[in-house]
């Protein structure tokens, strides 16, 4: 189904809001299933999900932590007097994971869309052009920044330093090392870009011409209607769970 960027935005917002409202893993599970269904309807390439591999590791860590620190419900794992794991902990861990998955999957809907269309959509929603342009730049620079970060990580290791074996005590200093050049290079890039934009007359006149236009078709209104109605139905349907 080919829909407007704004329609996709609405879908993302609705799913994200619902994911943030609920904490019950059962409800979040249903939400995730619905989300995947929508992704399939919009023909999103599921292979994009592989991009989240890195996060999964981080989140598994978080979940384990949660499970150990939340002391509610029945004890599941006890060593002597100390309760290590409770049903409450597992419950929270799972709900966090599901919430993250819903947020990530709905964001995936935007992954395939053209940054220029996104700017247009924002401008049409009365977001100031400067702000919209900033968002576009942010999206465009993201991969560059990841590449740079990878470069720094490689360079550190090429100096014979194993990052996994750095002492805990010093980890903070180590990470400052990692991020200061990154921030510096981003700052340098923005400065260069600002000069370039100025030289080409960016915003020298308050109006700008758009070569492309985006319009909301009947499908869009239909999809928006269905999404909003379903959201309400969902809210009522899951009250009992």
Partner 1 sequence: MTYITLKDVTFTYPGKTVPAVKNVSQHFNPGEQVAITGLNGSGKSTLARLMVGLLSAQSGIVHLQGKPVKQYSLAERGRKIGFVYQNPSQMLFNNTVFNEAAFGLKWRGVKKEEVMARCRELLQYFNLWHLREEFPFNLSEGQKQMLVLASILALKPDFLILDEPTKSIDTEGKKKLKEILLDIWRQGTGTIVISHDREFIQGLNRRSLHMIEGEVRENEGRREN
**Using CB under 8 A as the criterion, what x/- string covers residues 134-153 for binding partner 1?**
-----------------xx-
Q: Binders of partner 1 among 152-171, rule CB under 8 A?
A: 152, 154-163, 166
Q: Does 178 bind partner 1 (CB under 8 A)?
A: yes
Closest CA to 91 of 99, 79, 103, 83: 99
Q: Does 185 bind partner 1 (CB under 8 A)?
A: yes
Cβ 46 to partner 1, closest distance in Å? 20
Q: How many residues does the structure list for the chain?
A: 241
Decide if 145 contacts 187 (C-beta within 8 A). Answer: no
Cβ 150 to partner 1, closest distance in Å? 10
Q: Which is nearer to partner 1, 178 or 222 (CB)?
A: 178
| 35 vs 106: CA distance, rounded Å | 7
Q: Which is nearer to partner 1, 175 or 210 (CB)?
A: 175
| 207 vs 179: CA distance, rounded Å | 38
Please enumerate in sequence order all residues whose Cβ is within 8 A of that of 196, keeping only pairs 6 or more positions apart, or say none: none
Neighbours of 4 (CB within 10 A): 22
Q: Which residues bind partner 1 (CB under 8 A)?
A: 151-152, 154-163, 166, 177-178, 180-181, 184-185, 188
């Amino acid at each position: 189904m080919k829909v407007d960027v704004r329609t996709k935005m609405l879908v993302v917002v609705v799913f994200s809001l619902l994911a943030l409202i609920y904490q019950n893993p059962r409800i979040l599970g249903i939400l995730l299933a619905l989300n995947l269904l929508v992704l399939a309807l919009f023909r999103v390439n599921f292979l994009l999900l592989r991009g989240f591999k890195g996060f999964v590791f981080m989140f598994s860590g978080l979940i384990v932590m949660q499970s150990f620190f939340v002391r509610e419900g029945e004890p599941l794992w006890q060593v002597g007097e100390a309760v290590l794991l409770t049903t409450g902990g597992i419950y929270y861990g799972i709900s966090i994971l599901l919430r993250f998955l819903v947020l990530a999957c709905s964001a995936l809907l935007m992954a395939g869309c053209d940054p220029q269309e996104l700017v247009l959509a924002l401008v049409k929603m009365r977001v100031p052009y400067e702000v919209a342009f900033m968002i576009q730049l942010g999206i465009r620079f993201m991969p560059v920044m990841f590449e740079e970060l990878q470069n720094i990580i490689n360079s550190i290791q090429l100096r014979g330093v194993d990052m996994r074996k750095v002492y805990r005590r010093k980890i903070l200093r180590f990470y400052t090392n990692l991020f200061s050049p990154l921030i510096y290079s981003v700052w340098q890039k923005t400065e260069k870009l600002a000069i370039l934009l100025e030289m080409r007359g960016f915003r020298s006149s308050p109006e700008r011409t758009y070569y492309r236009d985006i319009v909301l078709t009947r499908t869009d209104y239909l999809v928006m209607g269905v999404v909003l109605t379903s959201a309400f139905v969902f809210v009522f349907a899951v009250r009992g769970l």
